[in-house]
Structure formats: structure tokens, C-alpha cells
Structure 1
């Protein structure tokens, strides 16, 4: 998926576990089929999973990221009534793999890519309850870090310009440029950040019987624009349940539009970037854009 990708094999994982965590060396190791774009995931026995960063980076920098993600994941797991992975250990480079890696608890369930809950009002209510619980958490004086989504929409202009250029021939770029020209000007409803998951896409939520059964990829938990987690309204929900989410959270028009703008920014990036290497993600981006554009027809 990436030019600088580092591939990991089951044998490499087995060797790393034997050398660094011999207490788990007798457990079966299985590569987890995933649409994830940041880590390769391996299941260790029935209760653990190991995440290996895919993109080559300096080992010290990668360790700092994994440590930060572990703290964030542990904090979110304590706040959420829905299960979330908890950090267990950090591994070191070895066996030909050049970066540190992370071990966390394994959660049972089916990702929303494989069991689409988009038509379920009950799922929308669950998602709203999850978002509300994070919003109520103490920021402890923390503010948006400036990295990724969740700050000022217009700060993404350069990235969006690249997305429009790369999407020529894939999407109606002229129309999408007009949409962004409106979205980028949307002001914040207030200055205060709230705690947010930051990436509520189908691959990061688990479903059981059309209900939310767990939340994955929680390492990005942190302070951000209150509208950021509303991306899930368009990545995950059809119109009826989307309105259930909005009504349950009590979103005003401006906050709702900013949530739509963040979903638009994310979707524009995944359509072209993963069109050949991760078709599931690319299709998700197209579906999200269709959902955003449909009321504008």
C-alpha cells in the first residue's frame, strides 16, 4: 500500500515472540486479514494481538508513537462502556524487522466492513453513546496537537489540492473543489477541544447483531474539534440512522456541517491513494463522498 512499506511474516513474528516474550511462544500466530493501512496485525493465541507498523521510520520515533498510542488506548478503554483494546507490551526491533511493535488485547467481533450496520438505528444510538462518553472526558488542559484531522479545516488546503489533482479521471473533481471551497470556511462553534477517537471508519468498529460491540484503533484518542468524531455519521450510517445519531448528540447545523467536512477531507484522500492497493478503503471513500453529495443533488 505504501512505497516505504515493511512487510512482516508469521515466521518473523514467531521469532520475535520467542526471543522477547517466551511466555507466549507456544501460542498460535495468525495474520489477521485487515483493511488497515497503518499496521500489520497478527493474532497471538486467543487473547492477544500484535501490531507492526507498516511504514519505515526511525526506530526511536516509532517507539515514541507506540508509547503515546498505548497511553491513549489505555485512557480510552477506561472511559468507554464498549470494549476497546488495552495495551499489554511493546516489542523491540529484531529478526529482520527494523522497528518496535505493540501487543494488546484481542477483541472478538466483526468489523463493520464485513457486517455493515449502516441501516441500524440501534447501532447509531450506540455510536452516539460512545462519542458522547468521549466528549465528556476531561481534556486535562490538553489541546489538539496540530497533527492530522481535528484542527483548522483550511490548514488541509495543500493536501486537498493534491487529492483533487490525483483524483482527476476518478471523480468529478470540479464539483468536489466547489464543495471543499465551502467546507474549508466553516468556523468552529467554540474554542474548546473535546476528547475524540479521531478515526471512526468501518474498519475501526466491531459489530454484533447490528449493535456496536467494540472499538478498535484507539491510539489516536485525544483532544480535537468536537465535530471530528461525526465523520462516523457518513462513513458508517445511512440517512435514517444518521439522523438518529445527530438527534441523540444534539448537534447544531454548524457542528454537523463541520463533521461532514472532516468526513469529506478523509474520503478524498483514500479514494485515489488506495484505488489499487486497498480497494475496500477506496470504495469506502467513494461511498462517503456519495453520501455527502446526495443531499446537494
Structure 2
């Protein structure tokens, strides 16, 4: 879906005339699901780029207000519910602007403190007790990712310039498939804890954004920061604070690797930030080549 500043101005003017005079400017983002525009100084507009992303809008509107008081970090606050108009076919939302910088893998400030903050957030998510929760995207059994992960590994065998040890990746994946699955009740998950969905100030977590994948499922789904962001020592702090057992840790490691293996061939020529983080995950799990 092509979205530009002028379309956003028309959508705002038609739906929220009280904000029609505010400045609109695109926020650079490596995300693939939403276009993001700053609205004035205190708000942000998120518009889905695909039909699949449009389904996330209703999920966030329904659940974010109920999750907010239960979580130790800031999360998006919906200020306005936009509807299809001006040729734009899907619902969209206006949120309060959240300050902070995205932490970068390999350049994390105060990594052990950030690991503790992330563990506190994940533990709070796991402890949420809200009925009628949706199933989280990617929150099902590890085996549900098997076919896609194996296809990605075979695809990467044909991309020698990426220098991925595909045999090692397959060994990690198959070992994780052999560990016990989650046999407890499904827990609440953010389910997309990528660096681009985290905001920090002076190395400390301030907010978590983009809850479009949220729902309930295997707690291993929220262990992604251990490999997509945190260095070795902080990774252990994260695990210790959460008290994660060996099987859940192995599933989390394999899930993070699977996402990176799938993302790398898909984004390597079109989305530098997503491809770079995928390479970081592969190195963190398999070791340097």
C-alpha cells in the first residue's frame, strides 16, 4: 500500500479535524507491517501496509488499554481510531508519542540493566490474567515452524555470500524439536520483541511498542531479546531473572533462530535493518564463521 504525507493529512483532516493543522512527517522505520508518521509533537499515526497488518489494529485497540496498568514499561496508548477513507482501505490508529531510542544489537548501553528491565517486562506479560485472550502469532508449538525453517535453511544454502553454516543451523533446529514442548497453560506474550519494538533511555527500557502479534502461547516466544539484542553476560541475567528451564530456553533459542533464518533471505536486499539483525541472531546462536 502506497502511503505518503498528503494521504495522512487528508485522513487526519477527515477523521480528526481538531488535529488537521498539526505537522505530519514520516518516521523512518525498518518495520514491514505499518507506516509510521509523527503527528505534531505528542502523537503518532500508524497505518497498516498490508491486509494482515490491518487485523492487528483491532487487536491493539481491544487489548492495549487492559494491558497497560499491568505492565512495568510504557506501551502504546490509542488516542484515536481511524477508519477507511480517501482510498485507504483499512482501519488505522493515532497513538500517544513515546520517547526513546531503539537499542541496537552490538551497541547496547548498560546491557545487564536492560536485561533486567526486559525480564521484568516479560515476567509481567506472563503473569497477566485476562480472559478470552487471542492466540499469539507464532505462539503455537515449535513444530508448527518446522517446514518454513527447513525451507529457509535450504534457501540459504544457495546464498553463499551470507556464509551461514546451514548444517549447524539444522542441527540446532532438530535438537530443539526433540525437547519437551510447553505443557502448562498458555501465557500472555508480546510475541515480537525485536529491537525495533523496544524504546530505551540511557540504556534502560522505557517502552515496548507494536503489540500486533500479542496473545497467549508458549512462553519461549518472548525470549527473543536473549539472542537478537543482549550480549552473552546480559543474556544470562535475562534467563536467571526469568527462571527459565532448559527446555523453554532451547525452544526460545530455536524460535529466534528460525525467525532469523526466514527473515534473512527475504529481507537481505530490501530491508537492511531486518537483515542485519537476522545476521546478528545467527551469529549469536551458531557462533562466528
Aligned position for 2:68: 77
CA distance in 1 between partners of 2:253 and 2:101 (Å):
26
**Are positions 1:47 and 2:42 aligned together?**
yes
For residues 98 and 90 of structure 2, the distance between their equivalents in structure 1, rounded to whole angstroms, comes to 24
Structure 2: tracts of 5 or more residues without a match: none
Q: Deviations over 1:4-42 (max 9, x none)?
A: xx1200011001111111011011111000111110100
Structure 1 Cα separation of the partners of residues 199 and 53 of structure 2: 27
- Equivalent positions of 1:106-185 (< 5 A) are 106-113=97-104, 116-117=107-108, 120-140=111-131, 142=133, 145=135, 148-168=137-157, 169=159, 170=162, 171-185=164-178
CA distance in 2, matches of 1:200, 1:88: 23
Cα offset, 1:155, TM superposition: 1.2
- After TM superposition, which residue ranges in structure 1, 4 or more long, deviate above 4 angstroms? 61-64
Distance, in Å, in 2 between the alignment partners of 1:105 and 1:165 is 43
Q: Secondary structure at the match of 2:171?
A: helix
State whether structure 2 residue 268 is matched by structure 1 residue 279.
no
Match of 2:209 in 1: 216
Partners of 2:15 and 2:192 in 1: CA distance: 31
SS in 1 for 2:87: coil
Q: CA deviation at 1:115?
A: 9.2
Q: How many residues align?
A: 285
The separation in 2 between residues aligned to 1:64 and 1:258, in whole angstroms, is: 27
Q: Can you give the 5+ residue segments of structure 1 that lack an aligned partner in the other structure?
A: 1-5
- The residue number in structure 2 matching 1:3 is none
TM-score (ref. length: structure 1):
0.89
1:166 Cα offset (Å): 2.5
- State the distance in 2 between where 1:247 and 1:210 align: 20
Whether contact under 8 Å (1:118, 1:241) holds in the other structure is no
Question: What residue is the counterpart of 2:30 in the other structure?
Answer: 35
Asked if 1:24 corresponds to 2:19, the answer is yes
Residues 1:115 and 1:205: Cα distance change in structure 2 (over 3 Å):
farther
Task: Output the aligned Cα RMSD.
Answer: 2.1
Deviation of the 1:78 alpha carbon: 2.1
Q: Report if aligned partners of 1:72, 1:220 keep a CA contact under 8 Å in 2.
A: no
Q: CA separation of 1:115/1:213 partners in 2, compared to 1, >3 Å: closer, same or farther?
A: farther
Quickly say closer, same or farther: Cα 1:203–1:180, change in 2 above 3 A.
same
Q: Determine if contact 1:119/1:238 at 8 Å carries over to the other structure.
A: no
| Offset of residue 118 of structure 1 | 6.5
